[in-house]
Structure 1
C-alpha cells in the first residue's frame, strides 16, 4: 500500500452541537432509506432469553416514521457534509488515522464505560428538531428498546455504547465532522454508485487513482468484509477500541463497526467482497438498525433508575472495568 501523503495535526476545537446536528440530519436521511431486509437466520440466545437477536423489532411497530425530519429538509446540510467527507476520505488519510490510533506514543485515556457515556453526554445538540434530549438519552433509548423486545444482554449493551466512538472528538485528533459521523464505505477500491450522493466522490483523488479507482482496487473477490479498510469515523474507532477489551460477541462488534455502512447493509453494495461468515454479520447489522434509527423519542428516561441495571450489564462484558480509549 502507498504511504500516507499527508500528515495531520493534533486535536482541534470542535463544535459538538454542530456535529450532533449533522449526525442527526444524516440519521434522518437514513430513516427514509432503512427497512431491514428479510431476516435469514434465527439464533437461540444464551443468557436466558428466548427471543432471537435478529427477530423483527416490535418496539417500532406503531411508530409513525413520517414524524422524523423529511429528507428534503435535511438535504442541504447532509449534502454539504458528504461533499467534504467524500473528498477527504482517501486511502492516505485512513492509513494516517490508523497509524495515529495505534501509535505507541499516543496517550490513551482510561475511562470506565459509564464515565465515557457521561463524557459523551456533554455533546448536546441544541438545534436538533427531532429531540432536545442528550446523548445519554439516545443511548438509553436504544438500549431500552432492545431490552423491551427481549433481545439478549450483549445486544442491549451494544445499544448503550454504539455511539461512544464520538469520544474521538475529545481525544483522538478528529479533523472535523467528516471523519466522525456519516455513512461509511470502504476506501482502496472504486466508490460504489449506491453510496449516498455518489457524484461527490469525483473530488476524491482516489477516484482516478490507477489502483484505488478500479472496481476491486487493492482487494480480491471474497476477501471478507472485515478485511476492507473502512472510512474513518466513530464506528471504526469504537470497533478498534472494543474488539480486544470486551467480551461482546462478533455479531455485536459487527453492529458497532458497520451500523453506518448503509451501502452494504441496506443497498446491497460491496457483496463481491463477502466471504464465509459475512452473511451472519450482515444479518446482525440489519437487526440492530431499527433500534438506532427509530428509538428517538422526547420521552425522558430517568437515568438514575436505569443506571444500576446498565452498570451490571457493563461489568458483565467489560471485566477489566477501565477501557483504554
Structure 2
C-alpha cells in the first residue's frame, strides 16, 4: 500500500514507544488519597513528538489500512517462537535516545506483572501483565510507530470527539466517506466489539497470537487495553453486547497496572526468570506462530 510505505520515512516521532501514554497520566504526581493522579487533559503540555505521532496515526489509520494489516500479519507466518523467546526478541528493541531510563524491555514487562502479582491477582492475570505488550515486536518487523502503539479507536464508523486529538482525523481519507462517518458506520448496534475493526497496533496482533491459550478476561485486557475511548471515556458503548460488559470490568481492573507500574523499582530479572518460565509453560506451548 503506497500510503503506508510513503509514511515509513516519518515513522518515529516518539523518543520512546511508551511516550504515547503521556497523554493519560501525570508524571507520578499523587493526590490527597495517595493515589497517582490519572488522565490529565491531553491538550495541555503534551510533547511535540506525541502530537506528531497522533497526527500520523489519525491520518493513516483508515479502514483499508487496518484490513491490509490484518491480512498481512494475522496469517502469523513471520516467526515460530515461544513466549520467552518473544520477550528476548522484543528486548532487542533498544532506544538509545531515551534519556530517562535504561530499563530493558523485559524489565518493563516484569514491572507490570510483578505489580499484579503483589496485588494478589490470579496467575493468568499475572501472565497477561507479563506479555501484554509483546505485540510491539511489530516494530522489529519494520512497522512505523503509529501502526504499533497509541490509543486505538474504531474505523469504519464516526470518530468520537473523546479520542485523543480528534482534530487530526480531518486528514484521514475516511473522514470524507459518508458511510464511515455515520454513528454505526459499517456495523450495527449491539454487534459486539469483536465485530469492530479497531485501528491497527500491538494489541490486536498479540490477541490473535495468544487467543487460544488465555482466559477470555486476559484476552480482553490484551485486545482492548489501548481502547481508552471505550474503557475510560464510555464511547462506542452502543456496540457492546453482554459479554463486552463483563470484559469492560476486567480491562478497567488491568488499566492501572498498565499505566503506573513502569519507571520504578528495577525487577531482578535473573531471580524472577524461573518463576516466569514456569508460569509461561503452564499456559502456553513451547512454540507459537507469530
Under a length normalisation based on structure 2, what TM-score does the superposition of the two structures give?
0.89
Q: Would you say the 8 A contact 1:32–1:71 is kept in 2?
A: no
Distance in 2 separating the partners of 1:13 and 1:316: 42
- The separation in 2 between residues aligned to 1:198 and 1:277, in whole angstroms, is 28
**Higher mean Cα deviation, 129-138 or 213-222?**
129-138
Work out the number of aligned pairs and report it.
Answer: 281
| Structure 1 partner of 2:30 | none
Q: Is the 8 A contact 1:143 1:156 kept in 2?
A: yes
- 1:25 equivalent among 14, 19, 22: 19
1:14 CA displacement? 10
Match of 1:296 in 2: 262
SS in 1 for 2:54: helix
Query: Which residue number in structure 1 is paired with residue 247 of structure 2?
Result: 281
**Ranges of 4+ aligned residues in structure 1 off by more than 4 Å:** 5-9, 12-15, 61-66, 70-73
Partner of 1:323: 288
| 1:186 partner SS | coil
CA contact (8 A) 1:22 1:78 kept: no
Q: Secondary structure at the match of 1:211?
A: helix
Give 1:47's aligned residue: none
Measure, in 2, the Cα distance between the counterparts of 1:312 and 1:19. Answer: 38
- Give the C-alpha shift of residue 177 in structure 1: 1.0
Contact 1:125 1:134 in 2 (8 A): no
For structure 2, list consecutive stretches of 5 or more residues without a partner in the other structure.
28-32
Matches within 5 A, 1:1-325: 21-32=15-26, 62=34, 64-65=36-37, 72-103=44-75, 107-128=77-98, 130-171=100-141, 174=143, 176-244=144-212, 246=213, 248-318=214-284, 320-325=285-290
Distance 2:13 2:173 in 1: 25
Q: Deviations over 1:280-303 (max 9, x none)?
A: 111111100111110013422111
Distance (Å, rounded) in 2 between the aligned partners of 1:74 and 1:200: 15
